[in-house]
Chains A and B, each alone.
Chain A
Amino acid sequence: MNAPEPITKHRILELLDYVKDPEIPAINVLELGVVRSVEVEESGKAIITITPTYTGCPAMDVMAADIKKELLEAGVPEVEVKLTLSPAWTTDWITDEGKRKLKAYGIAPPEKSADIRALTGEQPVVACPQCGSKNTVMLSLFGSTACKALWKCQDCLEPFDQFKCL
């Protein structure tokens, strides 16, 4: 058996790669941008600070539990998951890799919140994640989870989720 890997920040980040968003298992918590800081104390105790996507998102409790489980099973002696509200999460924190995976998973990724249309409240142009057509229409501002809206493609006729821009 190999000697256990030393607990470093780098190691913790590697492990967090395996913790998926329970409602969108295509991306992990790092790609989602909810992990705000990782600290490792001398004792090996890891303190992970996460921030909620949506205030009422039920996935947050599961994510915190999953982070604990993943790290403890990998031999981290003690894990504390802290929650912070400020600064508030924005979809801009989803990494480019995260956005690519969302699209491959069939969810239209959010546009940049700095997009002028987002600021003026205008409807964004959302490309269909299935066929790429921009001939799409919003069916409902609210979708299958707190973070998504429901759209339909007018060309391939598939309905799809869009990650709301926040």
Chain B
Amino acid sequence: MSSKLLTYTLRLADDILILSQRLGEWCGHGPVLEEDIALTNRALDHLGEARNLLTYAGQVEGKGRSEDDLAYLRMERQYTNVKLVEQPNGDYAHTMVRSFLFDAYHLPLMQALTKSKDEQLAAIAGKSVKEATYHLRASSEWIIRFGDGTEESHQRAQAALEDLWTYTGELFEGDAVLEEMTSAGMAPDIASIKEAWSKTVDQVLAEATLKRPADAFMMTGGRKGLHSEHMGFILAEMQHVTRAYPGVEW
């Protein structure tokens, strides 16, 4: 069971870590100061959750690996995040749609995880759930503002939705690890998370006058460590100080 718990915890950690890294790229590049601050605030919240999860993953593994070892010293194929979070920031619509699609999944997931039979996962989720509520509120407001805004903002938001939709299937993929975690009461039933996600997406898109794309081909592979071409570049930037100066402290 502990190897399943480790795999599951790393998936949660990698999703939020890579999204944090992507949002952090906006630091100093935001369209207005308030948004620059908002994106890096978000990145910081996500990083905090990633640190909690990676620390716990290291404890579950029991080989003495720290949060830093797991964040900085794993190779691309050892990362098991979904491909959605590694997609480039693009324009502001792409960044916000990516966060919205993730936030609408992250909130019900964290809510459900607070009832996990694994006490530490429940504690981490209990901490994250309050922030996740705030994140979804903020990204939903942007989706509505874009969709129901100008012709240009509407068109860009719709384009971002069409581009990123193919990455949403991966959030709800099941496999043996998830099945075992769910039947042990440690992870929620993923179908119930999808239902909550779908409802939020429909509500917000309707208010934003945006069209929900049809489910067609869905990307897969992230959970097995098979990533898009962007992942290597993300890790190169994220890990380069630790790789260049092994054992460095700051």
Contacts and interface: CB of A to CB of B under 8 A. Distances in A.
A4 interface: no
B82 interface: no
Interface of A is mostly: loop
A107 to B, nearest CB: 16
Nearest to A58: B44
A146 B37 contact: no
Nearest to B56: A85
A142 B138 contact: yes
Given A142-B38, A146-B45, A150-B34, A164 B134 contact: yes
Contacts of B131: 54-55, 166
Interface of B is mostly: helix
Given A87-B126, A146-B44, A121 B137 contact: yes
Interface string A145-164: 01000100000000000001
B14 interface: no
A56 B123 contact: no
Interface stretch (B46-54, B57-65, B221-229, B230-238): B46-54
B126 A55 contact: no
Contacts of B38: 140-142
- Quick one: which of A57, A88, A90, A144 has the most chain B CB within 10 A? A88
Contact residue range for chain B? 20 to 34
A44 interface: no
A143 interface: yes
Given A140-B37, A142-B41, A144-B37, A54 B123 contact: no
Interface string B110-153: 00000000010011101111110010011001000000000000
Contact of B48 (A52, A86, A88, A141): A52
B37 A56 contact: no
B42 interface: yes
A55 B44 CA distance: 8
A150 B38 CA distance: 10
A140 B33 CA distance: 10
A88 B130 contact: yes
A15 interface: no
The 5 A-B residue pairs whose C-beta atoms are closest, nearest first, are A56-B48, A55-B48, A86-B123, A142-B38, A140-B34
Interface of A: 52, 54-58, 85-90, 121, 139-144, 146, 150, 164, 166
Given A56-B46, A85-B52, A86-B122, 8 more contacts: A86-B119, A86-B123, A140-B34, A141-B38, A141-B138, A142-B38, A164-B134, A166-B131
Interface of B: 34-35, 37-38, 41-42, 44-49, 51-52, 119, 122-124, 126-131, 134, 137-138, 141
5 contacts: A54-B44, A54-B45, A55-B48, A141-B38, A143-B41
